[in-house]
Structure 1
Amino acid sequence: MISINRDRLVDHFISLVKIDSESGNELAIASTLDKELTALGFEVTALPVPSDISNGFNIYAKLAGKLDGSVVVSAHMDTVAPGQSIEPIIEDGIIRSKGNTILGGDDKSGIAAIMEAVRILQANNLEHQTLELAFTVYEEGGLHGSKHYDMSKIESQQAIVLDSGGPIGTIITTAPGQQNLKVTITGKPAHAGLAPETGINALTVAADAIAQMNLSRIDEETTANIGVVRGGEATNVVMPSLYIEAEARSLNDQKLAEQVDHMVATFEKAASCHGAEIDIESSRSYNAFRIEHNHPFIQKLMKSFTALDIEPLLASTGGGSDANIFNEKGLVTANLSTGMAKVHTTEEYIAIDDMEKITQFLTSYLSKS
């Protein structure tokens, strides 16, 4: 088994998480990775994205190999908030932030593992498959970078996204589609003390609808949530309007459509009963994907983990990732765990052993055709 340079892996990861890169502000991290990849011998292309998406750019990088086969390996460069001025702390083999920010292992642990694997291959003069990298901006909160990724650069037929938690060896083969609802309820203002009965309270309409709506865990494949509510300006005014953002997710497209139809119909019925107006904007954020377990690519991933005495775990997830978008665009893409834990919270952490294991996997996978 090829040994991993543990200190170099950790040092590089630490340097990456110290670069501020909350979603939409990826210029610094993208520019840093452009230079680092070029120094490793990659042919690097900065792929522009709309300026309202990011001040940075997507990255395509290619390192030609001598072995048969090629693969895309992908990670996103952005983090959620609070992700400014991250101060990593290492304790007993665990890396975490000092507690006032996220760590940024989502997804810089993936980036660090990819680049350390390449350094190991080169240091040991190991022949490898052709490696294509797809680093994306603004994955969090919409998968915007992958939606705008220039797929004409991609030559491979399959891809690995490193953007999941769980034990090393976890292979996400199924992920849900997501539909977003933006709802504006327009009632009628009135003085809350003098003539409240002449008004139509938009909050009452919303409360009526939500009370009758199936939300949270619908079944083993489907969830729904009300996430944003904004309205009202004063206690002495019957609330004239209310804005709501909601979502539904499901591994099953039919179930997703039925859940969305139910939510829309429930909002519309409540508005009609109270005499309010309602506007609902429904949009698909991303589609579900499912890769059969007997697919040759999945079987190869499993075999590579097994060869390292790591148990492969085929799993589904309730979250979306760039894998959803790449699969939709025709690139067979599995999402693998890097060991990241408690992501999107200030308690986020990652074990160095897990970072080492996923780096070992990548090194092994790339050096075997």
Structure 2
Amino acid sequence: MIRIKAGVPRGVRPFVFGLPLMWGALAITYRLVCPLARHADLGARIVTTTVFFALGTGLILHVRRALLQELRQARRVARAAQNALLRPLPPRVGGLHTAAAQLSADRGARVGGDLYEVIATEHGVRVVMGDVRGHGLAALGTVAAVLGSFREAVHDEPELGAVLRRLDRALARHLRERAGDEHPVVEEFVTVLLLEIRPDGELLCINCGHPWPYLLTGTRVVPLADADPLPPLGAFPLPRELPAEPVGHLLPGETLVLHTDGAEDARDAHGRFFSLPDAIGEVLCGGPVTPQTILRTVFAALLRHTNGRPGDDVALLVLCNDPQQRAPSGARGGDISGSAARARATVAHPHPTNHL
């Protein structure tokens, strides 16, 4: 288990809290013992003042340097912990081009509470996208519990509903363990989107309180579905029946953009919401569409919209079915590009607009 504690590092605490005492003791000792302190000459006072200033500046600079070193080390540890949890995705998984990135709202810790993973299994390519309540270091433990359970369950469970139950049990167990820690656990929940992409491109989905992905088909950007999702994990018990809902097909040349709610909840200085479909649409008008191009364009637009200060963590996951490059034969999960014959039931929705 990885533990990262915020606050002043232990090795620097004696300097931080002892500096005022050291300075006060030195001033009193100087006043009582040093003859120059009682000397009326202006030159002597200037000399002693200069000495005190030099000593104080040296102490402050030493403490500052030690604090910066400890802070850089804490950030490296936090980044390593998050990289161990959110492992970099391979460029191709089961015939899909993939890319993902996260933008954390916690500028000091540089970590967030968003989670994602793409795994090729014998049942197809399985995807999870989630968002832990809150952000920063406190959310890392919950991310680890959910992702660890998903990475095992997707290979063991033939149905998405069984995978979701495994995630729910892992979350409940994690929260019970945290309840016995030194800090009380506040009410916590996780929004989760489970997606299964079968070898013929069919899409099955279970949504627990998460935003629906966007589908890029031709020159259109449309929501993958508009059904009401289940409640987030941890908020309420799961229903007895958890069937995976078919939501169409991912045909060759089409792309899915999964995201967390931090993207569409981001506001500018005037309170206007960020339009994720419009940002994705800029990619469609700018030339070849690749997962990396989508990530760069959307994050650049988001940072412009929020003036570089997003109010919440933002994660994007892009899955592209490229008909030009097929997965090697025998790859786990199959090649979803192999069947364009099956028609997809097109879901037509109005283009979302900003909320004022």
TM-score above 0.5, yes or no:
no
Higher helix share: 2
The two structures have a TM-score, normalised by structure 2, of 0.25
Larger CA Rg, structure 1 vs 2: 2
